[in-house]
Structures are given as structure tokens and as C-alpha cells.
Structure 1
Amino acid sequence: MSEVQTINIIEHADGELRVSSLIIAGRTDTQHASVLRVIRDNLGDFEAFGLVGFEIAPRMPGQHGGGDTTYALLNEQQATLLVTFMRNSDVVRAFKVELVKQFYAMRQALAAPAVPTSFAEALALAANQARALEIAQPKADAWDDLVSASGSYAVADAAKMLCQVGIKTGRDRLFAYLHSIGWIYRRRDNWHALQSAVDAGRLNHKPQYHDHPDSGKHVIDAPQVRVTIKGLNELRILMLPAIVTPQAVTT
């Protein structure tokens, strides 16, 4: 029986803390294929907490079977849900505790600002802040220009606007983020705005239709989710990284 090792198992990518299904399988003495089967068989439950990201990585040299391996990257809620599906052995219980500890520690580390411990570090931090503000100001001015109009934007266009102010996103990644913060939901492979997001003025719907190729009649399609100016401003605040990331100073 293996023991849970207290090394960092959480990664910070695309603004979210995630853990690999490969790590979960290894730390719970479970076949990775079985872990993936649980995720895929209950995908709807997992995606209630955001889209599940599946990745492909080269299989380790000499590993049985050869070829590439598919794994899932799970956020904190998805990882917690996954371990609830597992039999509560000593190894699984120990891993649950370690998983909670590491997600908490990573959140604390990301939230805690670095405090200067010397006059030299304080000067360096002030210089970093000044440089960051010089860089951020043109982006802020550009954002004001972008959202000075009225109306709403398709999610793909909203993603492009957010990219112009330094937020790394795209159409699919923005859909996934909107889902993770509870603004949209998926039904029959189409995204829909939650009524609460519409009522709050963050999103709206644009009716869509197409002409039937045989009858020529209008066929109603799923409405298009669109982001309002208010929604864009809120997304910018939620997604924009901190202006200053203090770095250690070596003397």
C-alpha cells in the first residue's frame, strides 16, 4: 500500500487550480483507465462545475502499450467529486486530506501578496509597481474605448476584446469560464444564459434561425449567447491578473 507524498500535486494554469487524473489514479492506487471511465460515465455531473479538460500526453518510454495517453485536468470541485466515487480505503482517505490541504495552500499562496523584508526590496517593489502601471494604463484607455459603445457582443468577439487588455482567452475558453462562474449552462449541446445573468444585465440572447433547404421555411435555432457591456466590465475585473506580481529581489 502506497502513502500519499506531500509534494505539490496542484497546478495553476489558465487562471485556475487543477489536478491531473493521472496523479489522482497514482495516489489512490487506482487504474487510470478506471478513473477516466468514472469521469466519462458521469461527465454531466462533473461539468456542473465547469468543462472537463481532456489532454493528450506522450506515454512514458517503455510503458506497456506504447502510444499516447489521455488524461483529464480537474478543478477543485471536480477533483473532490471524483474521490467521492472511490471506495473509502486508507489510501483514498489520506489522499482526500492531502488534496484539500494542497488546494487550500495553493489558494492562500496565490492570494497572499509578497511583503518586502528590506529597504532594497521595498524600493524594488515600488519600481515594479510604477512600471506595471505604465504598462497597464494604455490597456485601460483601450478598454474604455472598446466598451464606449452600447449593445452586446457574441462570445467570440467578447473574447477578442478581453485579449486586447491582456486577458488570455478565446471563444471556447470564455464559454468554459462563463460556465464555471454560473452565467451559462449547456442544454442539448448548446449554451444558454442563466436567467439570473440576463436579469443582472450581464448577458442576453439573440434569436437565430436558418432556412430549411427543402421547404424554405424558417427553422428556429438555439439562441446566441451575447455578453453585454456590463458583463464585459465584470469579466475584465474577474479575469484580469493582478497589476503587480511582486518578485523576490536578490542582492
Structure 2
Amino acid sequence: MNNPIVPTIEHSTNGLVVTSETIAKGAGVQHKNVLEMIAKHEARIKRFGTLAFETRKSGGAPTRVALLNEQQSTLIMSFMRNTEQVMDFKEALVDGFFKMAEQIKHPSMLTEEEIVHRALEIQTNKVLALSSKLEVIQPKADYVDTFVADEDLITFRTLASDLEVGERDLRDALIYSGWIYSQTKSRWSNTKEKLIPVTRYSAMADKKQYFQAVLNHDVPRFGGEVMHTLKVTAPGASAIARLLIRLANQYGSFEESILPLETRYNEKKAS
């Protein structure tokens, strides 16, 4: 056996993982090729657990990496051509997961120095990951501040696309944060020949400067009222971009903020 790259096995919310970047280095292939392989076999990979991604700073530029558990990384390695380097790294990867699992089961096996080093390594990785996420969001917030004209009205779909977040996640975050609220009523649909739910979004009183309700007289009325579409003003777009940065800073990423925000929101409603 040659001297393969010793894979760094990391702790994550999904357990022990190895990054796609580590796999690329260990197998001697380009990282983009590993990501392409993951995309191609995504359905198979997801059979062995959640397929998670993070944006990390690598060589001065943010890099999107996949976090793969033992089964997922083993599956990816099985798709690669068995060169000597690939086979050596497969063996090192199996050994790395086994040793890390043993260290978790038997923490006394670690020296005090190793424990401190491991804790610092985990914390450093978390800080680097968070910094990279904020670096990705901050230019988008700057873009909104610079290029959105004062008179512009922006749809939630457009703003979500500009900030590279899900439209549903964006709406949910604004509801859970007390910026907007939703109302749902049923109306008869002639085309579907049944009652269908219709949702209308409105701004909370203290956030009305961030939104504008655009009346739509061409659609059925909403509970006797004229239906409106809620759009975002230029100051609102800027404020929302800053909100995403705060949530990413507090929870590690914007996406990871949705569940705790929802939990807190439901608890307040129940009390």
C-alpha cells in the first residue's frame, strides 16, 4: 500500500461525515467531477441518509462541498475506476470512519492534548463554514442596496431567487419572524369543480414600509374583499437581506433557522 491521504472525518448534525473535497483529493480526481458524480447518483445516495451541502472557504474562494456519511462516501468510491490510488484511499476511508467511531465510543482512548485538538478543530470548522456562508449572503445584500431602485416593487419569487433561497422558506421566515402574516380561505373553482384554498399575505403593522399590497381586481374576491398580491419595496428588500444575514449568523445558515423559528412561533401562538 502507498501513502494515501488520511481522510479527515468530521462531526456534523448527520453524524460522522467526510467532505466531497476530501474524497477528490484522496482519489486524485477533480472536486467538480466528484460533485457531478454525486448529482448523477443523487437518488441512490439519498437512500443512505440526508445529502447535505455546505459552502466553505477553500483557497480564498467559497467552495460548495457535500457532506457524506460512511455509506454514502463508500458508494461514491464504488463508482470510481479502481486505480491504485483509489483503492488505497478506499482502505484509508474505511479505516478513518472506524477509528473515529471507536474514539467516540471510547473517549478515554484520546489523550488530553488530542481532546483539546479535536475540540479546536471542530470549532474552527464551524467558524470557517459560518464565515463562508455569510460571505455568500453579504454580496447579495449589497446588491439589493445598490441596484434596487426606490420605486421598484419586487415579488417574493424574484427576491428569493436573487438571494438564492427558497421562496417558501423566505415566506415562512418572514411569518415566523413577525414581518408578515397569511390568511387562507376557500373558493369554488369552475375548472377544478371543487373548493380550493386561496392564501393571501399581508404585512404586519410595524413592517408596512417594507411591503406593498397590490390590488388585483381581475381575480375572484377574497372573502368579500379585493384580492391583493403582497410585494416587497426597495427598503424591504434591503431589510430582508440583512435579516437573512442575522439568521445565518445565529443559526449557522438561513435554511437551518426555519425549524427553530417555526417552533418558537408555534409556542408563542399556543401560549
Alignment TM class, shorter chain as reference: 0.3 to 0.5
TM-score by length of 2: 0.40
| Larger Rg belongs to | 2
What TM-score do you get using the length of structure 1 for normalisation?
A: 0.43
Larger fraction in helix = 2
